[in-house]
A and B are shown apart, each in its own frame.
Chain A
Amino acid sequence: MKLSFSAEDEQFRAEVAGWLQDNLKGEFARLRYRGGPGDEHTYPEERKVWEQKLAEGGWTCVGWPKEYGGKGCSIEQQVIFFEEYARAGAPGRVGHIGEGLAGPTIIAFGTEAQKQKYLPGIVAGTELWCQGYSEPGAGSDLANVKTKARFDEVRGKWVLNGQKVWTSLAHESDYCFVIARTDPESVAHRGLGFFLVKMDQPGIEIRPIEQITGTSEFNEVFFDDAECDAGDIVGAPGDGWKVAMGLLGFERGVSTLGQQMQFQNELDDIVALARENGAADISDIRQRIARAHAELKIMRYNAMRMLSGHSVSDGSLQKEALIYKLFWASWHRSLGELAMDVMGPECEILEGAPYELSRLQAMYLFVRSDTIYGGTNQIQRNIIAERGLGMPKEPRPALK
């Protein structure tokens, strides 16, 4: 085991930190610590400009291979980049779905034409992506997708009909990757296709969802004869589930280290407040703060184990990776409760009318989504037990 970074990597760290210090100022200064989860609705236009600023500096897609316009960084350097990015308080990335999900999927499963058409816009920070997975009837049971894709032989295009939900950044995005049923007779994970769909077209309607926070970063997206070109399906019709599941592997990547840095910022706020308002003298609060601190430290060590693991290449997740989502989501939800309890009765008082939340208030409400999206805690436990421990699946009752 070796925990330290090489001298070369430390030099890379200095380079990242230096660039951020030189550029995250002036017009961008107000974006610091903004636009993260729960705050995605703030400064969307300014953050799009920031995305392009990053691209100019060569700081988008740092983990992508160089042949696709990436920086070809090692795992260590990616870790360092995301850590320094979060440490500097740089804003939530509007390009993260393209960089972290759409791009890697196209690189892994896409055609040469798809790579040439879509990857440069992601690298340049000029084309933003959103994810079309969940539907009203396909939440935890994601394979129960009802949105249909039919190939129109006359026009030579795929035609999509249906509805997606919980699509974050849909209203800011240029493209959406969508799983839809190519075989209308199929059920569950068979007969699906994976499509790259332009958002700006008459067949697509976006309706924001007003959330528990009173703000909207999630949307419903309606497809009413929406179209994409014949060449905009990734993999063959019927391969959609395989492509989508391959993509889930990319979601548990190195960016988790950056996410932890954001958690650390939140915990630092809570600690500072507790020291200031006297909550630091309450033994229960002391225990909870110490527990949050200890577990955040371990979250980092666990991520280091994940990233150092050597068995990821076959697509199977190691045990420390299987438990990661359940661990951080539950931790973060508890942090929200801790924030309120440290604030005491002040936790009720808003920044302003009609419903202007402080950072910690917004966090407290928004973290309730963490244990629901991306596989609820209950689904995570099923996955851990079945894949991690080899316990038998629940027998399924016959329908009807």
Chain B
Amino acid sequence: MDFAFTEEQEMIRDTAAAFLAEVSSSEAVRRAMATESGYDSALWRRICDEMYWQAIHIPEAYGGLGLGYVELVAMMEQMGRYLLCSPYFSTVCLATNALLVAGNEDQKTRWLGELGAGQVTATLAFNGGSRSWAADSITASFRREGDEFVLNGDYRYVIDGHTAGLLVVAAREEGSSGEQGISLFLVPAQTAGVRRRWLPTLDQARKQAAVTLDNVRLDGTSLMGACGQAWPALGKVLDLAAIALAAEQVGGCQQLLDMTVEYTTERVQFNRPIASFQAVKHKAADMMLKTEVARSAVYYAACVADEALRGGELGAELPEAASVAKSYCSDAYFAVAGEALQLFGGVGFTWEYDVHLYFKRAKSSEHLLGDGSSHRERLAVTLLDQGRSS
């Protein structure tokens, strides 16, 4: 047992931190978030062509770097810390994971090749507009017509849905409900009948879209896995993505903590740095506690996710590890952001200081893929309901 980063993993993390400190400055974030696409395409090209981050956990057989989920999580933590505006989460943590988990050999060869080469960005669309991020949130439907599938329906909260070149969409067989009848399809964004609309968001640094499918016709090569039986695979993808998102939340916590310590140490009132007041220190201590506990949750979940993708024994813990990490980190991030804003005082309330960017990200990432309460309820079902007659 050795629950610490290897030297190689530390190097990946440090390289990411150094690069992002340079390219994802406050000014760069503010420029990108003011655009509809939400990212600087020249920077995204650099990330793809020079850093190969988009290929981090794609197996070498498909042209990727073949690294593990721990490395991906180390990367996400730094992106959360520097609020990188990019289609990374949607492309790598949603769509690439979907292909890794549910794609057949032909689909992986083609699309992982293109994604890994940075030729296309992608995302996952499934939620029809529900606070539940489980199977019942899928309202779009499909029916078979000969060899074709015809898809209809609406999706909301589609991360980077208006810019992605490839959509992985979930739809349910007409008349099905719950976890039954769900299929995943690969839909290039230019397919006839696909309509996409950018949704302006409170957290401007992550873009969302609404996607409508209007009699979208697909042939059998678009179907991922067996027809109508995609929920277990999709559930796994969502757990993997939740862990990556939790890592991003840890990075945000750390940055807020560092910013707060720096600011309160410089800010003088009553002839003292306000950081010397216990009322301030105790809040900062609670922020550090939440940050470190969140980090422990995420690193463990990363190890579980890694085994889930590679078929290891720990992989069976994936749903629990994802819910433990996402529930704790979501609540921790929002609490830390709230305390940071309070400790910055008046300037924390301004547009000029960066605190509000993190405060807004904390809330948006809390609700993305299920908030703390919903993940705790998922844990409660396992703990309290299984094997009990009510």
Contact = CB atoms under 8 A, between A and B. Distances in A.
Q: Do A and B come from one complex?
A: yes
Interface of A: 1-5, 9, 76, 79, 271, 274-275, 280-281, 286-287, 289-291, 293-295, 297-298, 301-302, 304-305, 307-310, 319-320, 322-323, 326-327, 378, 380-382, 384-386, 388-395
Given A271-B383, A291-B376, A394-B278, A1 B5 contact: yes
Given A274-B384, A286-B376, A290-B383, A394 B276 contact: yes
B3 A286 contact: no
B276 A393 contact: yes
Contacts of A305: 3-4, 295-296, 299
B4 A327 contact: no
B70 interface: yes
B292 A290 contact: no
A323 B385 CA distance: 33
A1 B379 contact: no
Contact of B3 (A280, A304, A388, A391): A304
Given A382-B281, A385-B285, A1 B70 contact: yes
Interface string B270-290: 001101111011101110110
A133 B373 CA distance: 43
Contacts of B190: none
A324 B292 CA distance: 9
B110 interface: no
A2 B9 CA distance: 12
* Chain A, interface SS category: helix
A385 B277 CA distance: 11
B226 interface: no
Listed residue (B9, B277, B384) with the most chain A CB atoms within 10 angstroms of its CB: B384
A324 to B, nearest CB: 9
Contacts of A386: 281
* Chain B, interface SS category: helix
B264 interface: yes
A294 B379 contact: yes
A4 B293 contact: no
B272 A395 contact: yes
A304 B1 contact: yes
7 contacts: A2-B1, A280-B384, A290-B379, A294-B376, A301-B299, A308-B2, A326-B285
Contact of A385 (B282, B296, B313, B373): B282
A393 B265 CA distance: 11
Contact of B297 (A301, A393, A394): A301
B285 A384 contact: yes
Listed residue (A290, A378, A384, A389) with the most chain B CB atoms within 10 angstroms of its CB: A290
